[in-house]
Structure 1
Amino acid sequence: MSPGTPDQQVYSVSGFTDHAELTQKLQKIEEVSNGVLNLEVAGYSNQGLEIYKATVGHGDKVVMVQSEIHGNEKTGTVALVNMLKQLATNNSPKYKQLREEITIIAMPMMNPDASDANRRGNIMSWEEVVEDFPQLENAQPSWNYYTWQNEIWDYASNPGFDVNRDFNPDLDYVPQASDFPGNSASPGWFITPEAQTVRDVYKEAHDEFGKVDVFVDLHHQGQYYVEGTEDEVTLSLSGVFVPDPKSEEGAKYSEYANQYNGDFAKQLNVAAYQALQGVGNSIFNNISLYPQDLDLPGTALGSFALNGSGSVLFEVTGQTQSFGQKKKGQLVKAVETGLYGIVEGVADGSVYEIDPGEYENIPGTER
Structure 2
Amino acid sequence: MTWDEMLVNFPQLSDAAPAWNYVNRGISQMYDYSKNPGFDVNRDFNPDLNYVPKAKDFPGNSSSPGWFITPEAQTVRDVYKSLQEEYGKVDVFVDLHHQGMYYVEGTADEVTLSLSAQFVPDPNTAAGTKYAKYKDAYNYDYSRQLNLAAYNELQSYGNSPFKNITLYSQGLDLPGTALGTFALNGSGTVLFEVAGQTQTMGQKKKGQLVKAVERGLTGIIQAVADGTVENLNPQAYEKIPLTSNRPAN
Q: TM-score range, shorter-chain basis?
A: over 0.9
Residues 115 and 147 in structure 2, CA contact (< 8 A), matched pair in contact too: yes
In the alignment, structure 1 residue 279 sits paired with structure 2 residue 157: yes
Question: Aligned partners of 2:132, 2:21: CA distance in 1, in Å?
Answer: 26
1:248-295 deviation digits (Å, cap 9, x = unpaired): 111000000000000000000000000000012100000000010000
> Which residue does the alignment assign to 2:142?
264
Question: Aligned partners of 2:96, 2:11: CA distance in 1, in Å?
Answer: 33
> Which residue does the alignment assign to 2:19?
142
SS in 1 for 2:127: coil
CA distance 1:363–1:126, change in 2 (3 Å): same
Aligned counterparts, 1:1-367, within 5 A: 124-150=1-27, 152-367=30-245
- Alpha-carbon offset, residue 154 of structure 1: 1.6
Question: Aligned partners of 1:148, 1:256: CA distance in 2, in Å?
Answer: 37
- Alpha-carbon offset, residue 323 of structure 1: 2.8
Amino acid at match of 1:267: Q
Instruction: Give identity over the alignment, percent.
Output: 68
- Alpha-carbon offset, residue 326 of structure 1: 5.0
Calculate the TM-score normalised by the size of structure 2.
Answer: 0.96
1:109-146 deviation digits (Å, cap 9, x = unpaired): xxxxxxxxxxxxxxx01001111111100000100001
Name the Cα RMSD after superposition: 1.0
SS in 1 for 2:173: coil
Q: Structure 1 unaligned segments of length 5 or more: list them.
A: 1-123
Amino acid at match of 2:168: Y
How many residues are paired up? 244
SS in 2 for 1:250: helix
SS in 2 for 1:217: strand
1:32-87 deviation digits (Å, cap 9, x = unpaired): xxxxxxxxxxxxxxxxxxxxxxxxxxxxxxxxxxxxxxxxxxxxxxxxxxxxxxxx
Structure 1 segments, 4+ long, off by >4 Å, are: none
Query: Bigger relative contact order, structure 1 or 2, given CA contacts below 8 A and separation 6+?
Result: 2
CA distance 1:326–1:140, change in 2 (3 Å): farther
Q: Structure 2 unaligned segments of length 5 or more: list them.
A: none
